[in-house]
Amino acid sequence: MTATANTAATNTGLNAPGLRLTRRGRLLLLGLPAVLAAVALLAAAVFAAAALFNQALASTGAASGVEAEQVTVTEGDTLWSIASAAESDADIQQLITQIAELNDLDSAQLEHGQVLFVPAD
């Protein structure tokens, strides 16, 4: 083969060695996808764990709350008179506060026929 033929063969890649990567090339080709896959797996694990631990728990027990009885307001009734008539061991002032909170009352004004919930012991 002549010198011209060797130069032509080298320029066309016939005698070129295999693909060689630098350290940066290997990092980009192998390391970066591996890191991204690890991050994706970690995120999937976090979401799976959150889904398992964040489940609503149903209860078969009785619902907690205030046991109350309904009282219909008659002419001349006040919160004091209704609290005094209630069968409760609580202080009357405390019972008035509970009646107001339980019925979402803004004032002490009551209307004839109004239905109130009164805590019962």
Structure confidence at residue 6 (pLDDT): 54
Contact (CB, 8 A) for 73 and 35: no
Nearest to 78 by CA among 111, 33, 45: 111
pLDDT of residue 45: 94
pLDDT digits (tens, 9 = 90+) for 57-104: 666 666 667 788 899 999 999 999 999 888 878 888 999 998 999 898
pLDDT tens-digit map of 43-65: 999 998 888 887 766 666 666 67
